[in-house]
Chains A and B, each alone.
Chain A
Amino acid sequence: MTRILEKLLRRLPIGWLQLTHNRNRFLSALAGVSFANVLVFVQLGIAGSMTTATLQPYEFFNADIMISAEDANSLTEGGNVARQWLFQALADPSVTDGTPLYVANLTWEMDGGQTILQTFGVDPKAVDFIGPSVAQKLTSLTLLNSAILDRKTRDLDREEVSLIRPHSPVTFESEGNTITLFDTFSGGGGFNADGYAFVSDQTFLNLFAKRSSGAPDHILLHVTRGADTDVVVSRLRDAIADKTLRIRSYDAARDEDLRYQKTQRPTGLIFGFGVLIGILVGIVIVYQVLSTDVASHLREYATFKAMGYGQGFFLGIVFEEAMILAIFGFVPGVIVATGMLTFMNNMTGLPIEMTVNTAIMVFFGTLAACALSGAIATRRLANADPAELF
């Protein structure tokens, strides 16, 4: 390693030699950087899972415009929308089709516990509004009280769930109703429920007796090919009498939901702070290591000053050390964090995972944080006074 760095830096890698001279201290420093990395990775993993979980249900549908109640900050929150606005929207020349969407949580009571399924009630014929992973299975919803189940639903036996097929359905009870599962699709547990289920609108109204067909949670619309969605949205806002409604493009609704989860829901803020705390811990650890290192080598640095070495040389050493700590601390950090995130994914069913993008982002973040720590630590170099050597 010394030779590689020597060739790379075209000078003696003093930072590397200093750090590795005391192996216990070096390993402690690396453990500190790795710990900070793990902290950041875990927080980012959870925050990322919130993003994935928020966006996941939007992938189940295929729409250009969504009409929701004014308090509907997300797909699962807020009041209902009068179905009459669907018909008024269909009067617009650019709106080709529309369908109501019903959303509620269904409780599946099992031995020793219960599983919450975020359940979407859709018209089984509205295949065009359903994403490809679910659309081809919609026909199995035409029978009353039939459903298709998210096979990644938390706490379910994956092997048993994988056997659910139209020819080998499974039934379960929920609040006095017997529901038959004919098929499965890939979803994944979120923060609001353990998994997802699709039922027909008729089954939905049967399961949730208090709900009315005239008041879905959202209305999904398609516009003609080539039409400007924003223009249509604007026209619908003018045409529909209820000015409290949120009429947005489907993409805008998804983006606003994500922004709401990240910036206004407590979970999003907590995860954000967690990332910040991890970064601060990392900066403090690296600063402490570098600062101690500079302090313990002041006499050597003063000697180098006496020999004519300039400030750039000393900054180079401190930054060399910062980069070494960042790189060597990152490797165990990313390995441990991957293991922890996988464990958390298995334990919670949340879509928590290590992604290449996250790893790259944290790596460069670590380099930046270590460089910042190094920049702060170099202030102590001023204390190296060559006149004190004699």
Chain B
Amino acid sequence: MDPRNDFPVEVQALNHWYGQGEARKQAIFDVNLSIKSGSLTVLMGPSGSGKTTLLTLIGCLRDVMDGSVRLLGSELNGSVRATNEALRKRSGFIFQAHNLHESLSAQQNVMMGLQVHGRAADGAQFKEAAKHVLGLVGLGDRMEYLPHNLSGGQKQRVAVARALVGNPDIVFADEPTAALDRESGMNVVKMLKQLGVERGTTTVMVTHDGRILEQADRIITLEDGRLVKDTNP
């Protein structure tokens, strides 16, 4: 990873709001934080506290209106589409609602995480890599299954494999273990921790799962759009 990115996420004086005029509602108030490379950071807070908004802002999925967000060394306020796409390629996203492509098999869904980096000179390499990662999440025997033939937990594990197969520098996750049983959930967290140690992969996730909180390097709590607590358990 780029040595400049000891702190792959740096947020300064970040404000964000929805709507305009009288309908304007501020969701983030003057948030400042930095996240260390290779760490597992959890964003917590009650519903409507702004944690998802913050995740999408630092994940380069939403335009930064006011303040500064630096992701992997690049400023996101005013960034152009090409910069955003390049940063997203270096990131892995795990959505609560898995968002698998219904027409693609488990293996093909995971291959999409590789294909974004360029067309394969040999598709077999992508297939092999997808097969390997699906094996790591315990789905080696479900590679050809379409999402509608998988259980909720299995779909979520495919989504995890898709996010991790491209060896991202940073992973953004929204309740990634909500649909998983205890063992699968812990395996996913262990994988993320292991990637942090071995490759310096940073993980930022929104979760209420107590099992993950035990594994977190840092817990940031938001309330009403404000950062109210920042702990290192």
Q: How far is the CA of A21 from the CA of B101 in the complex (A)?
A: 11
Q: How far is the CA of A310 from the CA of B80 in the complex (A)?
A: 12
Q: How far is the CA of A309 from the CA of B108 in the complex (A)?
A: 15
Q: Contact at B101–A390, with CB atoms within 8 Å?
A: no
Interface assignment of A360: CB less than 8 Å from any CB of chain B? no
Q: Pick from B81, B90, B99, B103: contact of A303, CB below 8 A.
A: B99
Q: How far is the CA of A20 from the CA of B89 in the complex (A)?
A: 28
Which residues on B sit within 8 Å (CB–CB) of A110?
A: none
Q: Contact at A389–B116, with CB atoms within 8 Å?
A: no
Q: In chain A between 338 and 390, which residues have their CB closer than 8 angstroms to a CB of chain B?
A: 386-387, 389-390
Q: Pick from A7, A20, A308: contact of B116, CB below 8 A.
A: A308
Q: How far is the CA of A300 from the CA of B108 in the complex (A)?
A: 13
Which residues on A sit within 8 Å (CB–CB) of B97?
A: 389
- Knowing A14-B103, A18-B103, A386-B61, say if A304 contacts B85 (CB, 8 Å): no
CB-defined interface of B97-126 with A at 8 Å, one 1/0 digit per residue?
101011110001001110110011101000
Q: How far is the CA of A310 from the CA of B83 in the complex (A)?
A: 11
In whole Å, how far is A9's beta carbon from the nearest beta carbon of chain B? Answer: 8
Q: How far is the CA of A302 from the CA of B120 in the complex (A)?
A: 23
Q: How far is the CA of A73 from the CA of B103 in the complex (A)?
A: 60
Q: Which residue of B lies closest to A296 (CB)?
A: B102
Which residues on B sit within 8 Å (CB–CB) of A280?
A: none
Which residues on B sit within 8 Å (CB–CB) of A6?
A: 123
Which residues on B sit within 8 Å (CB–CB) of A390?
A: 52, 55-56, 61, 95-96, 174, 206
Interface assignment of A269: CB less than 8 Å from any CB of chain B? no
Q: How far is the CA of A302 from the CA of B174 in the complex (A)?
A: 16
- Knowing A10-B120, A12-B108, say if A306 contacts B103 (CB, 8 Å): no
Q: Contact at A306–B93, with CB atoms within 8 Å?
A: yes
Q: Pick from A14, A308, A389: contact of B88, CB below 8 A.
A: A308
Interface size class of B (residues with CB under 8 A): 35 or more
Interface assignment of B136: CB less than 8 Å from any CB of chain A? no
Which residues on A sit within 8 Å (CB–CB) of B116?
A: 304, 307-309
Chain A interface residue count, CB cutoff 8 Å, equals 26
Q: Contact at B95–A17, with CB atoms within 8 Å?
A: no
Q: Contact at A21–B85, with CB atoms within 8 Å?
A: no
Q: Contact at B102–A300, with CB atoms within 8 Å?
A: yes
Q: Which residue of A lies closest to B175 (CB)?
A: A390
In whole Å, how far is A354's beta carbon from the nearest beta carbon of chain B? Answer: 35
Interface assignment of A11: CB less than 8 Å from any CB of chain B? yes
In whole Å, how far is B229's beta carbon from the nearest beta carbon of chain A? Answer: 22
Q: Contact at B103–A17, with CB atoms within 8 Å?
A: yes
Interface assignment of B62: CB less than 8 Å from any CB of chain A? yes
Chain A CB count within 10 A is highest, among B85, B89, B91, for B85
Interface assignment of B86: CB less than 8 Å from any CB of chain A? yes
Q: Which residue of B lies closest to A16 (CB)?
A: B103
Q: How far is the CA of A204 from the CA of B93 in the complex (A)?
A: 89
In whole Å, how far is B82's beta carbon from the nearest beta carbon of chain A? Answer: 8
Q: Which residue of B lies closest to A21 (CB)?
A: B103
In whole Å, how far is A213's beta carbon from the nearest beta carbon of chain B? Answer: 78
Q: Which residue of B lies closest to A9 (CB)?
A: B119
Interface assignment of A299: CB less than 8 Å from any CB of chain B? yes
CB-defined interface of A283-314 with B at 8 Å, one 1/0 digit per residue?
00000000000000101101111111110000
In whole Å, how far is B108's beta carbon from the nearest beta carbon of chain A? Answer: 6
Q: Contact at B89–A307, with CB atoms within 8 Å?
A: yes
Which residues on B sit within 8 Å (CB–CB) of A387?
A: 56, 61-62
CB-defined interface of B109-150 with A at 8 Å, one 1/0 digit per residue?
001110110011101000000000000000000000000000
Q: Contact at B99–A300, with CB atoms within 8 Å?
A: yes
Which residues on B sit within 8 Å (CB–CB) of A20?
A: 103
In whole Å, how far is B179's beta carbon from the nearest beta carbon of chain A? Answer: 15
Q: Contact at A306–B85, with CB atoms within 8 Å?
A: no
In whole Å, how far is B75's beta carbon from the nearest beta carbon of chain A? Answer: 18
Q: Contact at B101–A307, with CB atoms within 8 Å?
A: no
- Knowing A307-B89, A308-B85, say if A12 contacts B115 (CB, 8 Å): yes
Which residues on B sit within 8 Å (CB–CB) of A10?
A: 119-121, 123
Q: Contact at A307–B103, with CB atoms within 8 Å?
A: no
Which residues on A sit within 8 Å (CB–CB) of B119?
A: 10-11
Which residues on A sit within 8 Å (CB–CB) of B123?
A: 6-7, 10
Q: How far is the CA of A6 from the CA of B87 in the complex (A)?
A: 27
In whole Å, how far is A390's beta carbon from the nearest beta carbon of chain B? Answer: 5
Q: How far is the CA of A309 from the CA of B81 in the complex (A)?
A: 11
Which residues on B sit within 8 Å (CB–CB) of A304?
A: 112, 116
CB-defined interface of A62-81 with B at 8 Å, one 1/0 digit per residue?
00000000000000000000
In whole Å, how far is B226's beta carbon from the nearest beta carbon of chain A? Answer: 20
In whole Å, how far is B8's beta carbon from the nearest beta carbon of chain A? Answer: 16
Q: How far is the CA of A11 from the CA of B93 in the complex (A)?
A: 21
- 22 A-B pairs with CB atoms under 8 Å apart are A10-B120, A10-B123, A11-B115, A12-B104, A12-B112, A17-B103, A20-B103, A21-B103, A297-B101, A299-B99, A300-B99, A300-B102, A302-B99, A304-B112, A307-B112, A307-B113, A308-B85, A387-B62, A389-B95, A390-B52, A390-B95, A390-B206
Chain B residues proximal to chain A, CB less than 8 Å:
52, 55-56, 59, 61-62, 81, 85-91, 93, 95-97, 99, 101-104, 108, 111-113, 115-116, 119-121, 123, 174, 206
Besides the contacts A21-B102, A390-B95, what 20 more A-B pairs have beta carbons closer than 8 Å?
Answer: A7-B123, A11-B115, A11-B119, A11-B120, A12-B104, A14-B104, A20-B103, A303-B101, A306-B59, A306-B88, A307-B88, A307-B89, A307-B93, A307-B112, A308-B89, A310-B81, A389-B93, A389-B97, A390-B55, A390-B56
